[in-house]
């Protein structure tokens, strides 16, 4: 669906995560204030702390309305702000400062701070779908299986950045045992072992792995992208397909398109899930549903 025109933004709130990614944010507020002041915008700030951030942000927005709210952090920060804004008229902007920044990459948002700040005055408005995964909000991607385990280990560790993620993934791959999944959607049923089960309202992980090619954030449906168990010798070829937009070419991949799904792991009462980069454990079955056109979001203009 084509982007929608949006009026001039004057009063901007920036939600800052002080610990996202591996990036020094010492001068970030000063940079944002200067950029906005030079263009006739007023910038205010909200800092996350890990203590009821969603509730505090909602209260702040109710008391101090803004024309747009920018998430300055990684996918977790973007998802936090998106959840606070979903269903309302205030749009989300993103200043990508995390380890992966998957949602901003899917939207074509520049990954450099000053280029991303251009969205405060030169942008197009998109209205996109969001997800509910086990009752929890998701603006981008969620998954069960190998990547969820790696994200949990990454979250528990002290190191940040892509290098730490790759190191953990390499360590966990050696002894990883795929689980059996039972998946019921509004279109079909599937059961079998899977290395990874991704619930995708978008295309790309922050690592640039293209898990769901040629799908849109606003098409009213999501995909369950399955990577089935594969021999070690097949791993390089599978990785090649994932990085070259050829997910469907591999013998070890399949996708299920749907609007609702129920995912269970026989014999397990709960399962590890990562949602927009944040790990959690959810009771099974995990219910997933789409919430069409529920979030307004600022993307680069078509000419960018």
- Residue 142 near residue 133, CB atoms below 8 Å: yes
pLDDT digits (tens, 9 = 90+) for 55-74: 999 999 999 999 999 999 98
**Could you give the domains of the chain?**
11-129+294-299 (3.40.50.10330), 136-293 (2.60.200.40)
In this structure, the number of other CB atoms found within 10 A of the CB of residue 96 comes to 28
The helix/strand/coil state of 150 is helix
pLDDT digits (tens, 9 = 90+) for 179-203: 999 999 999 999 999 999 999 999 9
The residues near 293 (Cβ < 8 Å, ≥ 6 apart) are 127, 128, 129, 218, 220
- Residue 56 near residue 79, CB atoms below 8 Å: no
Name the token pair of 95: 């200043």
Radius of gyration (C-alpha) of the chain in whole angstroms: 19
pLDDT the model gives residue 4: 47
Full-model pTM: 0.88
In this structure, the number of other CB atoms found within 10 A of the CB of residue 151 comes to 22
d(CA 274, CA 198): 9
Mean pLDDT of 213-229: 94
The helix/strand/coil state of 219 is coil
């Amino acid at each position: 669906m084509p982007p929608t025109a949006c009026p001039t933004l004057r009063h901007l709130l920036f939600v800052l995560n002080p610990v996202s990614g591996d990036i020094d944010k010492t001068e970030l507020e000063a940079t944002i204030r200067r950029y906005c002041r030079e263009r006739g915008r007023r910038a205010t700030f909200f800092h996350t702390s890990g203590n009821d951030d969603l509730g505090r942000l909602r209260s702040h927005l109710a008391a101090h309305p803004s024309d747009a709210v920018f998430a300055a952090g990684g996918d977790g920060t973007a998802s936090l702000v998106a959840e606070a804004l979903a269903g309302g008229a205030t749009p989300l902007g993103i200043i990508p400062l995390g380890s992966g920044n998957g949602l901003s990459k899917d939207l074509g948002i520049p990954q450099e701070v000053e280029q991303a700040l251009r969205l405060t005055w030169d942008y197009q408005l998109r209205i996109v779908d969001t997800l509910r995964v086990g009752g929890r909000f998701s603006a981008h991607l969620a998954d069960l299986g190998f990547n969820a385990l790696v994200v949990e280990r990454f979250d528990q560790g002290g190191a940040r950045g892509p290098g730490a993620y790759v190191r953990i993934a390499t360590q966990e791959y050696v002894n990883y045992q795929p689980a059996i999944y039972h998946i019921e959607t509004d279109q079909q049923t599937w059961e079998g072992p899977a290395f990874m089960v991704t619930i995708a309202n978008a295309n790309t992980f922050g690592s640039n792995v293209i898990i769901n090619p040629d799908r849109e954030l606003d098409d009213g449906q999501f995909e369950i992208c399955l990577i089935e168990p594969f021999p070690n010798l097949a791993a390089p070829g599978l990785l090649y397909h994932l990085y070259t937009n050829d997910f469907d070419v591999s013998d070890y991949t399949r996708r299920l398109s749907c609007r609702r799904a129920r995912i269970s792991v026989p014999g397990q009462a709960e399962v590890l899930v990562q949602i927009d980069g944040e790990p959690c454990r959810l009771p099974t079955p995990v219910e997933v549903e789409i919430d069409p056109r529920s979030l307004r979001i600022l993307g680069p203009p078509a000419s960018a």
